[in-house]
Copies of this chain bind each other. A is one copy, B any other.
Amino acid sequence: MTRWPLPEPMARALELAREAAAAGEVPIGAVVVKDGVVVGEAHNAPRELTDPTAHAEVLALRRAAQKLGSERLEGCDLWVTLEPCAMCAGAIVHARIARVYYGAPDPKGGAVEHGARVFEHPQCLHRPEVYPGIGEEPAAAQLREFFAARR
C-alpha cells in the first residue's frame, strides 16, 4: 500500500499492467504524458503482437510519436510500472523524453539503475530526469502475483 494517492499517470500505468496480466502478458504498463494530457499508452504485449520489441514503453512511445506527428517527444514524460530495460531506455533516449517516472526497480532486467545503466554513459546523447519508486509497491505486487500464479 502507498500512503498517498498515486499520480494519475502511474495509476493508469498500473491499470494497463493489470490488463497485460489478464491477457497473459507480464504485467507492465506505460503512459506518455505531455502538458498533463496522455498522448500514448500501452501494456506489455510481445506475445499478443508477436513482436520482441513490444514492451509497454516502446509501444507507448511509438503511439505518442504517431499522435504528435514527431519522432522526437520533447517535453513529454514517461510513466512506467517497472524500471526500463536497455531496449526501452535506449528508446527513451531516442525519443528525447524529458522525465521518466518508474515504479518497481528491476535488478535482473532493468538498465537504468542496474546492468547497462544506459543513461549514465558519457556517450548518452540525451539524459532524461529519472524518478524511481512512485507506485513501487503495487507494481511489484502485480509482478509477484503474476509469476506466483504461473509457477
Contact = CB atoms under 8 A, between A and B. Distances in A.
Interface string A81-112: 00001111111011110000000000111010
State the oligomeric state as a number of copies: 2
A62 interface: yes
Interface residues of A, number: 44
Interface in A34-62: 46-47, 49-55, 58, 61-62
Contact of A71 (B50, B89, B107, B109): B50
A116 B114 contact: no
A123 interface: yes
Main secondary structure of the interface of A (DSSP, over half): loop
Interface in A63-88: 65-66, 69-73, 85-88
Given A85-B90, A107-B123, A50 B73 contact: no
A117 to B, nearest CB: 7
B52 A95 contact: yes
A88 B18 CA distance: 27
A1 interface: no
Nearest to A63: B51
